[in-house]
Structure formats: C-alpha cells, structure tokens
C-alpha cells in the first residue's frame, strides 16, 4: 500500500561541513547526531535530529560528482526535500503513470533504506527524494 509517512529530512549542500557546524550546531543549537561518509553518493553528511525529522548537511567528496556540480552552479543552500514513503516502488509506478520526470527509475539500495529522486522539472524546481526505511 502506497503511503506518505512524513518529511524525513531536509538536505542543505555545503562547501565544508566543519565550517557549517558553526551556525547549525553552535549558533542555532541543534544537536549533532553524527557525521558519516556516503561513498555511493560521493558525499559526507552531518545529521541533526529535529522533531521526527532531520536536517542534513551534505558536502561533496568528489569534484566531478553531481553534488559538486550542483554546489558549483547554485552555491550553498537547500539541496533537496526528502519524503518518507511506504512502498517506494509503487510510488514510482504511480508517478511514472502521471508523467512525472524521475531521476531514478528504480530505487537505489543503501543500508537500511531505499531511495529515488524526482526531477525538479516536475516539482516546481525542488529536488525531491523519496525514501523508504527497510528492515
């Protein structure tokens, strides 16, 4: 059964996580959960819990990655909105049937989750990530 559960996270692309911590952790007062490398996405990510969701700071780790190119073109700022769903494959089928432009036609598998991105051309300019937690 396809279901939208919640906003899982908002991702902010940054040049340098260590520098960005000054605002998010030190000035704003969010508690840093952890920082991890995500080689499959050529990124390093800092996680802050906010209520039931998270704010993620995302730093590219490879100069030729899509994330690095995004950062070079648009600068630091909001990168994407992540919506947690039940049945990501069903959601992708539903969106394809409505001619929504997808970046990922099938979900990418990462430890504990499956994800797919929807192209900003179909979402009023916002990169949207669909996210399904798997056990």
Rounded to an integer, what distance in angstroms lies between the CA atom of residue 108 and that of residue 122? 20
Reported pTM:
0.91
Total domain count, the chain: 1
Q: What is the DSSP secondary structure assignment for residue 103, as one 8-state letter?
A: S
- How would you class 7 by CB atoms within 10 Å of its CB: exposed for 0-12, middle for 13-18, buried for 19 or more? middle
Q: Give the CATH number of the domain where residue 92 resides.
A: 3.10.180.10
pLDDT single digits (tens) 33-56? 999 999 988 999 999 999 999 999
pLDDT single digits (tens) 60-91? 999 999 999 999 999 999 999 999 999 999 99
């Amino acid at each position: 059964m396809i279901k939208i559960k919640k906003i899982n996270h908002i991702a902010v692309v940054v040049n340098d996580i260590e520098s960005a911590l000054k605002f998010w952790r030190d000035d704003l007062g969010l508690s840093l959960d952890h920082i991890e490398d995500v080689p499959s996405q050529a990124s390093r990510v800092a996680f802050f819990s906010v209520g039931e969701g998270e704010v993620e700071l995302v730093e590219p780790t490879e100069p030729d990655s899509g994330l690095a190119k995004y950062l070079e073109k648009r600068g630091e700022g909001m990168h994407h909105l992540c919506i947690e769903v039940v049945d990501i494959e069903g959601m992708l089928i539903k969106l394809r049937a409505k001619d929504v432009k997808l970046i990922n036609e099938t979900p990418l598998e990462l430890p504990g989750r499956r994800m797919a991105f929807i192209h900003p051309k179909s979402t009023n300019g916002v990169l949207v990530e669909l996210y399904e937690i798997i056990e």
